[in-house]
Structure 1
Amino acid sequence: MSAIKHRKVIAGLALAAAAALPLAACSSTDDSSSDSSSTEVAKPLARINALSGEDTAIALDKGFTDALTSLKLTPGVVGTAKLTDGSLVFPITGGNVTYYKPGTAKPYVIGQVQHEGSGLSLTAGDTKVELTNFNVDPGISRVYGDVTVNGKVAATSAFLFQLRGATLKPLQTEGDTAILEGTKVFISPVAAGLLNDTFGTDAVTDQLLVGVAKITVNTTP
């Protein structure tokens, strides 16, 4: 493999790992790793100061769509988001990421992956909730965003989704893109409470699986 190709693969791994949020990024290491990291400053394998291009797609779980139907909630998209073939697609608009060799730093992926200007809407009767401007924090496997109810701001930078990467598939590379698929996306306790209060129900819980994420990112700045 050429040096240029190798750097592209490493960069793609860093970008995709940050967006997909495998739980291993937050897992504990053994004592020897902890001792080493406490006395030495780990060097990153890759650092991307400005993310650009491609998207995060969430293949909606049937349990989630059935729950929306039972609650008489109609899903929709906001801004540049798309709903295509059962998947919500949010363009990646910016952010940054630093990726360390697993075991040399905790967490081994830090930064943020931004999806400004897009989001998800849920409507019931005259009430419309919009969840927008998603910002992924890879260090703690959380997604933050803004919330409006009928156009009025209800929350900013709220903890909206939690991610679990145990089902994450190996990294794939195609040309100048990297793809990671398999991370599960769940409603957060904060979002569950907000949606229950807004729509007058108690059916939304933090065990509700929204879907499975597929992250496609550019490996070249």
Structure 2
Amino acid sequence: MRTTHKRFIGGLAATALLALPLTACGSEDETDAPVNGGSSAAAEAPEPVASIDALTGESTAIALDKGFTDALTTLKLTPGVTGDAKLEAGSLIFPITGGNVSVFEPGSVPNYVVGQIQHENSGLSLTAGDTKVELTNFNVDPGVSRVYGDVTVNGKTAVTNAFLFNLNGSTLEPLKTEGSNAILTGTQVEISDVAAPLLNDTFKTDAVKPGLLVGIATITVATS
């Protein structure tokens, strides 16, 4: 990426949907008007204030909300992990395996953060009796505040690239840095209106509601 270290960190913050104020990277040249009735939009397409072409390490961790774990207990669902994921001290941890992100000046384009944050070969499992559901290969789309992923039931693919979780960044805390890592915490992870009926149908219940808070996310990204 070709930005200062400060803008680099700011771009990383945006990957976690943090609504940080971004400084303008320039002003419009008011003399650049359309010629012969044509549009100058293409010629004046805004440049990103930060771009990360290849995300590498570290992880996305979700501290499970008590309401979510209580709901699992009521439904007699046992949470677990798949692949490279971990479940430690009440938190699900998914390694970041790739992706990219570009950050634009807010207001310059419809979605000022675009890209994806990938978590391949890891996921969350929910088991009840002989039924095991696995939600894997999470892909965070910061432009629309959604998480997509694949779903299998007892080892068989049910759906791929499904809209599984909403991300609510209204409670995000300020960006922190530790060494060469940028750390953001506070994003609320909620069950989507696509995942809720899928889980209800699979486990023969109606207790999983859209918007159910799964937990609070902490994203740790390597900046070097």
Could you tell me the TM-score, scaled by structure 1's length?
0.87
Find out whether 1:21 has 2:25 as its counterpart: no
Equivalent pair of 1:179/1:217 in contact (CA under 8 Å):
yes
Match of 2:52 in 1: 48
Match of 1:7 in 2: 4
SS at match of 2:4: helix
Match of 1:151 in 2: 155
- In the aligned structure 1, how far is the partner of 2:132 from the partner of 2:102? 37
Match of 2:104 in 1: 100
Give the superposition deviation at 1:106.
Answer: 2.4
Structure 1 counterpart of 2:99, one-letter code: G
Give the superposition deviation at 1:9.
Answer: 3.2
Match of 2:28 in 1: none
SS at match of 2:136: strand
- In the aligned structure 2, how far is the partner of 1:83 from the partner of 1:155? 24
- Residues 181-202 of structure 1 show CA distances to partners (whole Å, capped at 9, x for unaligned) of 1010000111101100000000
Match of 1:88 in 2: 92
List gaps (5 residues or longer) in structure 2: 22-39
Higher-Rg structure is: 2
- After superposing the two structures, state which structure 1 stretch, 50-59 or 103-112, moved more: 103-112
Structure 1 counterpart of 2:137, one-letter code: N
Give the superposition deviation at 1:23.
Answer: 7.0
CA-based RMSD of the aligned residues comes to 1.9
Match of 1:197 in 2: 201
- In the aligned structure 2, how far is the partner of 1:156 from the partner of 1:150? 15
Residue in structure 1 matching 2:137, options 108, 113, 133: 133
Give the superposition deviation at 1:12.
Answer: 2.6
List gaps (5 residues or longer) in structure 1: 26-37
Equivalent pair of 1:78/1:130 in contact (CA under 8 Å):
yes
Match of 1:29 in 2: none
How many residue pairs get matched? 203
Match of 2:68 in 1: 64
- In the aligned structure 2, how far is the partner of 1:22 from the partner of 1:78? 28
Residue in structure 2 matching 1:114, options 100, 114, 118: 118
SS at match of 1:189: coil
- In the aligned structure 1, how far is the partner of 2:10 from the partner of 2:68? 29
Bigger relative contact order, structure 1 or 2, given CA contacts below 8 A and separation 6+? 1
- Residues 12-31 of structure 1 show CA distances to partners (whole Å, capped at 9, x for unaligned) of 3212321x224799xxxxxx
Find out whether 1:169 has 2:166 as its counterpart: no
SS at match of 1:17: helix
- Residues 15-50 of structure 1 show CA distances to partners (whole Å, capped at 9, x for unaligned) of 2321x224799xxxxxxxxxxxx9542221111111
Equivalent pair of 2:135/2:150 in contact (CA under 8 Å):
yes
Structure 2 counterpart of 1:9, one-letter code: K
Percent sequence identity over matched residues? 68
